Structure 1
Amino acid sequence: MDFWASVLILFRRWCITVPACLATLAMCAAAYYTVPQQYRSDSILVLTTPLSGGTQATNRNVPNSITNPMMNFDRSLSLSASIVIQLMNSTETALSLGITPGGPTSYAVSNGSSNPELLETGPFIFVTATAPDARTAQDLTEKVSAAAASALAQRQDELSAPGPTQIHMVVVVPPTLAQPLTGSPMRAAAAAGALAGLMSLGAVFGFESLQSHRRRRRAEEQRATEQDDPGPRAAPGAAPEVGTAVNGSRAGRSALVDHRRVNGAARATSGNVLDVLENPARGDDGSESEVR
């Protein structure tokens, strides 16, 4: 079945196509408004080193100094950012912030990549919060940013890093105004529309196939009936009626002509016999012959 034949079927079965299209639109609208609207707020943080560096001299006369353990290696800021990201993405931290895993409110902390262990992005930390309410999303972003700074300070205190050598967290981009996310409702509406459209097409073409099957079955039954009962037959020896033709065929017309010829010959013979009986016998010269 080609494209235009399919389109013709859709137009011919409009009594099914039109309600199916209306039902598809209704399902799309219901899916769009059923899925809750989500709002998103973002913030960007960066780690910086102190002005005095990562070491502190305890005694001016002794060259020994104390170094911050989190700054005693290469790319220390990127590694420290990765540590903070791992801490903030843990389930325990989410529960402490009042976030239920799998709920409508969530947040994500990353360094700009899907793998926080990659250090190519530098000491940046990206915070994203999602919630059903715009104000809730923005407040959650602020709370997560503050928790990240607190986690960094707590980690350095646990390592006994001197205060002047501790890494600081600076807010580069404050929590933005929450923006609505249209992706989820649109995806739900698209999925519902695709499913309803397939069901509508199946209903239309299924009904067309059923009707075609019924037409073929009726045609076969009619042909079988005609073969079993060809029609009334003439009785043996019965003369065909004058003026009728059998199925309009040439044989019927020939039989009609022969029948008329036989009737004409019979009438002519009857007329000759009557003339002989009524008129006396005449000779060759036209005079009446003597009857003895």
Structure 2
Amino acid sequence: MRMDFWGAVLVVLRRWYVVVPTFLLCIGAAVGMYAAVPVTYTSSAGIVLTIPKTGSSLPVNSKQPDPVTNPLLNFDDGLSMSASILIQALSAPEVGTELGVVPGGKTGFTVSNGATNPEWMMSGPFVFIEAESDTAEGAEGIVTKLVARAKEEMAKRQTAVGAPQQTFLNVTVVVPPTTPIAESGSKSRAAAAAGAAGLILSFFAAFAVESFLDARRARRAKEAAAVADWGAVKPAQDSGRPGVSPVLHG
């Protein structure tokens, strides 16, 4: 049965005693869901790799040292490659396990070059660390551990390839671990979803009751019509056979 907008509004108004309790019940469920979803905290840090001020190579003649340069003005593609290696190393599951992060637990982290962060939309020797936990201390603690691990990882890998220590890349913290921020977005989304579901459910309940009552009225009307038709039938009298029950003709 086709029902226009105003017809639907009339159904909702007519069955308000179904809509209101159902909606209030769902609102209560939304409030409970909002309270049940835990608050998460996020903390982040940013580091950059730089070349030593004496350069990335040792002079052939020790009497003629390489010129001293500003590390922040001396970037090349090698730094970006080293940053990518560091990101892959820190993102390994084994690193998380060593730092106390359990897969599927309440604490997690991501390491990237900032490509997924609007404030760090750049490529280069940057490493962006972000952690999330159910406590502020947990989020900031993991970021602090990862920053320290980044320095250890770079030193270990440069030692493994036999790079002269004077040419070791510097791991500079440009953004120290930030103060954890409470993220309530997941709580709000859960409550909003429950509220929307409650509104839809209340409308559905109203139309279900309306359909049930319409069907019951139609059935009763049909039964009443059948009874009326039965009462209108007059028994046929068999004058030739007294004692025979009368026959009804429809």
TM-score (norm 2): 0.81
Which position in structure 1 is the counterpart of 2:192? 190
5+ long unaligned stretches in structure 2? 64-75, 236-250
Rounded to whole Å, the distance in 2 between the matches of 1:43 and 1:120 is 16
Report what 1:40 is aligned to. Answer: 42
What is the Cα deviation at residue 58 of structure 1?
6.4
Supply the distance in 2 between the matched residues of 1:98 and 1:107 (Cα, whole angstroms): 11
CA distance in structure 1 between the partners assigned to 2:87 and 2:112 by the alignment: 6
Q: What is the CA distance between 1:230 and its match in structure 2?
A: 2.7
CA shift at 1:35, angstroms?
Answer: 1.0
Letter in 1 for 2:134: P
Moved more, 133-142 or 122-131: 133-142
- Between the aligned partners of 1:58 and 1:154, the Cα distance in structure 2 is 25
**Higher mean Cα deviation, 138-147 or 193-202?**
193-202
Structure 2 counterpart of 1:172, one-letter code: V
1:43 deviation in Å?
0.9
**Cα deviation code 1:145-172 (max 9, x no counterpart):** 1111111111111111111101011011
Deviation track 1:105-162 (CA, whole Å, cap 9, x = no partner) reads 1111100125xxxx96111111101111112211221111111111111111111111
User: Aligned partners of 1:222 and 1:131: how far apart in 2?
Assistant: 68
Pick from 8, 13, 35: which aligns with 2:10?
A: 8
| 1:54 match | 56
Which amino acid is 2:105 matched to? G
Q: Which moved more, 1:34-43 or 1:138-147?
A: 138-147
- 1:223 maps to 225
Q: Hey, what does 2:135 align to over in structure 1?
A: 133
Partner residue of 1:285? none
More relative contact order in 1 or in 2 (CA 8 Å, sep 6+)? 2
Structure 1, unpaired ranges of 5+: 62-73, 234-292
Correspondence for 1:177: 179
Distance in 2 (CA, whole Å) between partners of 1:49 and 1:2 is: 71
Partner Cα separation in structure 1 for residue 211 and residue 145 of structure 2: 62
Number of matched residues?
Answer: 221
| CA distance in structure 2 between the aligned counterparts of 1:178 and 1:151, rounded to whole angstroms | 25
- Corresponding residue for 1:18? 20
Partner of 2:210: 208
**Does residue 86 of structure 2 align to residue 75 of structure 1?**
no
* Residue equivalent to 1:99: 101
Aligned residue for 2:232, secondary structure, equals coil
1:146 is matched with which residue?
148
Aligned residue identity for 2:212? L
Cα distance in structure 1, aligned partners of 2:106 and 2:128: 20
The code of the aligned residue for 1:173 comes to: V
- Runs of 4+ off more than 4 Å: none
Any conservation in 1 of the 2:113–2:122 contact (CA below 8 Å)?
no
The aligned amino acid for 1:211 is L
Match of 1:259? none
Deviation at 1:200, TM superposition (A): 2.3
For residue 55 of structure 1, give the secondary structure of its aligned residue in structure 2: coil
Alpha-carbon distance between aligned partners in 2 of 1:197 and 1:85, rounded to the nearest angstrom: 46
Q: Which of residues 161, 164, 167 in structure 1 aligns to 2:163?
A: 161
For residue 189 of structure 1, report the CA deviation from its aligned partner: 1.4
Equivalent residue, structure 2, for 1:124: 126
**1:120, 1:206 → 2: CA distance?**
55
| Alignment-mate amino acid for residue 209 of structure 1 | S
Q: Please, what TM-score do these two structures have when normalized by structure 1?
A: 0.70
